[in-house]
């Protein structure tokens, strides 16, 4: 026996699976693992109350519980007991949720092998012991006795170390401020919040300072509610990975990504200025030349993104920033997805029918949940360019009317809506917003070429020359 005995509680109602799992342990010559088997959550809770276990292997589908119901019951009854979830489903979203809920690991049954199972069990036990030691250290530093040392007459309250029960004071953890409204001075990792900037499609944005480098940054914090959503968390993490691949002056990159008390955040360069949408809301359409220059800069940033295999999937005036330095930058790759990834490039949120993106600027294929690529960004940029020139998106009204416009109509004629817009700009919009991806510009570089030609051809003639 290589080490201390590890007592394993296996909660599995399928006799064949239970036998196979026990055989795997035996074949791995894991003589230090002792397995106790029950087939109900109720029996598991009874066993936990009567015996001391080091880890629980829990099937998600049991006769007296379904899904995470059994996990929650066991985890609530024994919050420090490591749990490893066993499932017939090899599902990334379920695995992510399991870890978020507090599981040490998630093992698809179809991929379990004896040695891997034993390693997972040992790892879960070791990690659980480390976390218990860390908790004990925190409790000791706080000057309170551990929960296990609280006597019954104290009513379950934590009492100061060495203090009498009769003199005990209730110690409660200070709740973390809500991620949607963090007060100034809140510490998130190495960052200190100095103000709130606003809300984006995937989180709340704050101004902050790196307390080590003394550098001003923008911090995007995922809201508490979204942090518990596996799909939202995956999109948030995808934003960081996508932006990290792109190094271009017209793209807002990232400095850091981290987790803070259950919430996730991204640290980005702080851009002083505002969005194109803010300009449109305050003053109406942009001058055609300014709009064309902005669209050209967006093309340059998107070219770098597409070269890195990244599709933004949510180009809109809100996600185009103009800094006080005059530089145009694309922000918020929260809906981006790598073109070369193995995921299906549907615009639904992982098969659950949730269309990702902003309806006013979505491509037809994105509206219909079809495969998307760089051509979808070209369409969205065409729609955003129209909004910059006219002051409103191409299609308005309720959701059905907007969807109908994207999928079945030709884009409105920008020159007819704003006579100051040159026909060449209207033609660029028409081609960018073609319903069929193959009918659009072959690339953002081609669209950039037409935008640059429009700026040159429509330049005032120098009569002095």
Question: Collapsing DSSP states into helix, strand and coil, what is residue 102?
Answer: coil
Q: What is the pLDDT of residue 154?
A: 33
Q: Is the pLDDT of residue 353 over 50?
A: no
Query: What fold, for 6-137?
Result: Rossmann fold (3.40.50)
Cα–Cα distance measured from residue 335 to residue 380, given in angstroms and rounded to the nearest whole number: 13
Report pLDDT digits (tens) over 192-246. 999 998 876 667 899 999 999 999 999 988 766 666 777 767 776 776 777 788 8
Contact 163, 157 (CB under 8 A): no
Cα–Cα distance measured from residue 12 to residue 16, given in angstroms and rounded to the nearest whole number: 10
**Which of 92, 89, 95 lies closest to 344, judged by CA?**
92
User: Under CATH, which architecture does the 273-457 domain have?
Assistant: Orthogonal Bundle (1.10)
Most confident of 141-145, 189-193, 311-315, 438-442: 438-442
Q: CA 296, 301, 307: angle at the middle one, nearest 5?
A: 120
- Rounded to the nearest integer, the mean pLDDT of the chain is 78
Contacts of 189 (CB under 8 A, 6+ apart): 256, 258, 260, 265
**What would the mean pLDDT of 435-448 be, rounded to a whole number?**
97
Q: What is the pLDDT of residue 345?
A: 34
**What would the mean pLDDT of 445-450 be, rounded to a whole number?**
98
Residue 90 has φ and ψ, to the nearest 5°, of -95, 80
Q: Which residue has the higher pLDDT, 258 or 145?
A: 258
**Which of 339, 392, 381 lies closest to 357, judged by CA?**
381
Cα–Cα distance measured from residue 274 to residue 294, given in angstroms and rounded to the nearest whole number: 13
Q: What is the pLDDT of residue 298?
A: 98
Structure tokens at 415: 């020159």
Element (H, E) at 36: strand 33-38
Cα–Cα distance measured from residue 460 to residue 179, given in angstroms and rounded to the nearest whole number: 51
Question: Collapsing DSSP states into helix, strand and coil, what is residue 304?
Answer: helix
pTM of the entire predicted model:
0.59
Structure tokens at 219: 């911090």
DSSP letter, residue 395: -
Give residue 148's pLDDT band: very low, low, confident or very high (50, 70, 90). very low
Minimum mean pLDDT among 49-63, 69-83, 284-298: which range? Answer: 69-83
Query: Which residue is listed with tokens 């449109």?
Result: 280
Q: Is the pLDDT of residue 159 over 60?
A: no
- In CATH terms, is domain 187-269 a member of 3.30.200.20? yes
Give residue 17's pLDDT band: very low, low, confident or very high (50, 70, 90). confident
Q: What is the pLDDT of residue 217?
A: 94
Question: Collapsing DSSP states into helix, strand and coil, what is residue 66?
Answer: strand
Contact 56, 82 (CB under 8 A): yes
How many of the other CB atoms lie within 10 Å of CB of 272? 10
Most confident of 48-52, 89-93, 117-121: 48-52
Q: Is the pLDDT of residue 369 over 90?
A: no
Q: Is the pLDDT of residue 289 over 60?
A: yes
Annotated binding site for ATP: 220
Q: What is the pLDDT of residue 230?
A: 78
Structural domain boundaries in the chain: 6-137, 187-269, 273-457
Chain mean position to CA 18: 36
**What would the mean pLDDT of 393-411 be, rounded to a whole number?**
88
Q: What is the pLDDT of residue 304?
A: 95
How many of the other CB atoms lie within 10 Å of CB of 293? 17
Q: What is the pLDDT of residue 233?
A: 72
Q: Is the pLDDT of residue 342 over 70?
A: no
Chain mean position to CA 280: 29
Give residue 281's pLDDT band: very low, low, confident or very high (50, 70, 90). very high
Q: What is the pLDDT of residue 459?
A: 64
Question: Do the domains at 6-137 and 187-269 have one common CATH topology?
Answer: no
Return the CA Rg of the chain.
28
Q: Which residue has the higher pLDDT, 185 or 90?
A: 185
Q: Please name every residue paired with 66 in a beta bridge, in sequence order, or none if there are none.
A: 61
How many of the other CB atoms lie within 10 Å of CB of 285? 20
Q: What is the pLDDT of residue 146?
A: 42
**Which of 20, 58, 25 lies closest to 39, judged by CA?**
58
Q: What is the pLDDT of residue 390?
A: 97
Torsion over CA: 452, 457, 462, 465 (sign): positive
Q: What is the pLDDT of residue 392?
A: 95
Q: Please name every residue paired with 87 in a beta bridge, in sequence order, or none if there are none.
A: 108
DSSP letter, residue 260: E
- DSSP for 205-223 reads EEEEEETTTTEEEEEEE--
Cα–Cα distance measured from residue 57 to residue 13, given in angstroms and rounded to the nearest whole number: 12
Contact 310, 374 (CB under 8 A): no
Q: How many CA atoms lie within 13 A of 217 on its CB side?
A: 25
Backbone angle region of 15, left / alpha / beta, with phi > 0 → left and psi within -120 to 50 → alpha: alpha
Cα–Cα distance measured from residue 330 to residue 252, given in angstroms and rounded to the nearest whole number: 6
- The fraction of the chain above a pLDDT of 70, given in percent, is 75
Cα–Cα distance measured from residue 368 to residue 423, given in angstroms and rounded to the nearest whole number: 30
**What would the mean pLDDT of 421-450 be, rounded to a whole number?**
97
Question: Collapsing DSSP states into helix, strand and coil, what is residue 48?
Answer: helix
Give residue 348's pLDDT band: very low, low, confident or very high (50, 70, 90). very low
Report pLDDT digits (tens) over 60-104. 888 887 777 888 888 777 777 888 888 877 777 777 777 767 777
Give residue 334's pLDDT band: very low, low, confident or very high (50, 70, 90). low
Give residue 25's pLDDT band: very low, low, confident or very high (50, 70, 90). low
**What would the mean pLDDT of 314-331 be, rounded to a whole number?**
94
**What would the mean pLDDT of 443-456 be, rounded to a whole number?**
96
**What would the mean pLDDT of 3-23 be, rounded to a whole number?**
80
Residues acting as catalytic residues: 314
Give residue 328's pLDDT band: very low, low, confident or very high (50, 70, 90). very high
E strands of 44-203, at which residues? Answer: 55-59, 61-62, 65-66, 83-87, 105-108, 187-188, 191-199
């Amino acid at each position: 026996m290589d080490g201390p005995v590890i007592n394993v509680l296996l909660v599995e109602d399928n006799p064949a699976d239970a036998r196979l799992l026990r055989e795997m342990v035996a074949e791995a010559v894991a003589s230090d693992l002792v397995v106790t088997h029950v087939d109900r959550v109720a029996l598991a809770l009874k066993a936990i109350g009567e015996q001391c276990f080091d880890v629980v292997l829990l099937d998600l589908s049991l006769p007296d519980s379904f899904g995470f119901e059994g996990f929650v019951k066991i985890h609530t009854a024994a919050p420090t007991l490591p749990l490893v979830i066993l499932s017939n489903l090899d599902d990334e979203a379920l695995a992510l949720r399991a870890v978020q809920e507090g599981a040490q690991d998630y093992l698809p049954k179809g991929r379990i092998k004896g040695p891997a199972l034993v390693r997972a069990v040992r790892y879960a036990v070791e990690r659980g012991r480390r976390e218990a030691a860390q908790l004990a250290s925190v409790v000791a530093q706080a000057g309170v006795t551990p929960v296990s040392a609280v006597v019954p007459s104290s009513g379950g309250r934590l009492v100061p170390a060495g203090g009498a029960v009769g003199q005990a004071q209730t110690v409660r953890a200070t709740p973390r401020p809500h991620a949607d409204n963090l007060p100034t001075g809140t510490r998130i990792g190495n960052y200190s919040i100095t103000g709130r900037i606003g809300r984006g499609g995937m989180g709340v944005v704050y101004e902050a300072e790196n307390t080590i480098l003394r550098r001003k940054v923008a911090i995007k914090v995922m809201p508490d509610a979204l942090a518990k959503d596996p799909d939202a968390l995956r999109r948030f993490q995808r934003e960081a990975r996508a932006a990290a691949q792109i190094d271009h002056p017209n793209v807002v990159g990232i400095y850091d990504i981290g987790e803070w008390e259950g919430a996730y955040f991204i640290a980005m360069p702080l851009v002083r200025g505002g969005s194109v949408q803010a300009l449109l809301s305050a003053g109406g359409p942009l001058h055609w030349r300014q709009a064309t220059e902005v669209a050209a800069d967006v093309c340059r940033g998107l070219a770098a993104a597409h070269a890195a295999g990244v599709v933004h999937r949510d180009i809109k005036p809100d996600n185009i920033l103009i800094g006080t330095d005059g530089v145009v930058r694309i922000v918020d790759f929260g809906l981006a997805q790598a073109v070369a990834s193995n995921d299906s490039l549907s615009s639904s949120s992982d098969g659950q029918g949730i269309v990702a993106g902003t309806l006013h600027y979505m491509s037809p294929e994105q509206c219909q949940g079809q495969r998307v690529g760089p051509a979808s960004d070209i369409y969205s940029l065409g729609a955003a360019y129209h909004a910059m020139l006219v002051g409103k998106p191409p299609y308005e009204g309720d959701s059905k009317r907007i969807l109908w416009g994207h999928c079945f109509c030709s884009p409105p004629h920008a020159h007819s809506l704003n006579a100051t817009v040159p026909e060449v700009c209207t033609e660029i919009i028409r081609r960018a917003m073609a319903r069929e991806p193959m009918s659009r510009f072959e690339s953002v570089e081609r669209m950039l070429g037409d935008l640059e030609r429009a700026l040159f051809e429509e330049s005032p003639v120098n009569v002095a020359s």
